[in-house]
Chain A
């Protein structure tokens, strides 16, 4: 790999521009995605920028269980994003249609329609989990553009309440101490 390719790979990892799309979401995940850009989490430290146009974006962030109405829009917007690109499915809805499963208005899950790179589970996922997912997607995007790898979906670990102590958030120990005091 020569110097220019190395620089390009590094730049792609450090400048993920997002386009956010709602595929029939309840707005919970959308709020968390915006929260990841606010002062408390500040995803701009990683170079993340929320773009207004899908033409500018590298990473397509899709929330929601993919309703009948949203299907064609999602496919169109996926086509409008210029390559190399990656797709992050935010929340449990695009991964499995969540509590809306078997609804006659749904066409989900998302990977029936477009290839998904990263699933960020949670209902809604915490902003730190979303940032982790975006960073992973940027890494995948840079590697895939350099080496022409096939798309293999990655499921991110659950962070926050319900993680069962799998992460360092400390919620499980807090819950235990609460039970003990009660």
Chain B
């Protein structure tokens, strides 16, 4: 029973069978929302799916040696990490089996951006290297805030377990942590105020410059799964606990949709910041609040 439920979670809901169409759907919502904000009509509903199929049918440039092998491997690692992160989300009420915790989820969420950094450097393209350096700087800046926010949530609720966090009612401190995570999401998903690594008007496509065909399709899909996992994390933290499985699933999908809309509207309304402004934003403005959140969480825990 435990094994079957665990497998069902990883493969069906919220795992691959749900997550892949959801990734395409969220990518479409993002593009459509940006288009509507700009007064355009935007791409048709099936667009990310067509893009994926078309990319699968394209040829790839020849790659040789260890560098070529690594370039083939990075998108696969990124994709499997993102899919694993989605599979871990505690959407449905707990029913035994492997559950994982916040730390594993954070590691899996971080792996795709590590892969992007490595991919840019192993591609040997100057634009890829600049993009990777930017991604590395960005990741050092937002991850401090992101980790502190998660830490404050875990400290305020006395647990690192995802299932327990999803069941507990949200305390005021958790809302502070959720706000801090939301501030970090645009940088994690490379969208507009912080779209530095893939700044296409400056450095072509950044780390993705040398990728083509099926490899690029895997990158697009892993980016979509990152959307599902990152918005899903916030959705599970916000969503009230329900014992009925289908109600919980429905609320999860609706909340993810709302968060994607919010992020896309922010992306369409802002311009790209400079790299030093971005770093200053995270280290000077946001870090103070994250530290305050952790401090008050620990203080409340000492008093309790």
Contacts and interface: CB of A to CB of B under 8 A. Distances in A.
Interface of A: 7-8, 10-12, 14-15, 17, 38-39, 42, 44-45, 47, 49, 51-53, 55-56, 58, 80, 82-84, 145
Contacts of B210: 53, 55
Nearest to A50: B200
Contacts of B38: 39
Given A55-B212, A83-B58, A44 B43 contact: yes
Nearest to A138: B54
B39 interface: yes
A15 B58 contact: no
A69 B41 CA distance: 39
14 contacts: A7-B53, A8-B53, A11-B54, A15-B54, A49-B51, A51-B200, A52-B205, A53-B205, A55-B61, A55-B210, A55-B216, A56-B208, A84-B57, A145-B57
A14 B42 contact: no
Contacts of B40: 38-39, 42, 44-45
Contacts of B39: 39
Given A11-B50, A56-B212, A58-B58, 4 more contacts: A7-B53, A8-B56, A15-B54, A55-B209
A75 to B, nearest CB: 16
A21 B61 CA distance: 20
A31 to B, nearest CB: 15
A82 B60 contact: yes
Nearest to B39: A39
A145 to B, nearest CB: 7
Interface string B205-243: 100111111001000000000000000000000000000
A53 B51 contact: no
B167 interface: no
Given A44-B35, A47-B44, A53 B204 contact: yes
B59 interface: yes
Nearest to B46: A14
Which DSSP category, helix, strand, loop or mixed, fits chain B's interface?
Answer: loop
Given A47-B51, A55-B209, A11 B43 contact: no
Contact of A82 (B35, B43, B61): B61
A145 B201 CA distance: 30
A140 B56 CA distance: 19
Contact of A42 (B41, B47, B49, B57): B41
A82 B54 contact: no
B209 A58 contact: no
Nearest to B34: A44
Contacts of A53: 127, 204-205, 208-210
A10 B50 contact: yes
B51 A15 contact: yes
B174 interface: no
A136 B123 CA distance: 34
Interface centre among A7, A14, A49, A53 (most CB of B within 10 A): A53
Contacts of A39: 38-40
B188 interface: no
Contact of B44 (A45, A52, A82): A45
Given A47-B47, A56-B205, A8 B54 contact: yes
A165 to B, nearest CB: 29
B31 interface: yes
B39 to A, nearest CB: 4
B42 A44 contact: yes
Interface in B237-265: none
A42 B205 contact: no
A56 B43 CA distance: 18
Contacts of A8: 53-54, 56-57
Contacts of B42: 42, 44-45
Interface in B278-296: none
A59 B196 CA distance: 26
A12 B41 contact: no
A80 B210 CA distance: 9
Interface in B125-143: 127
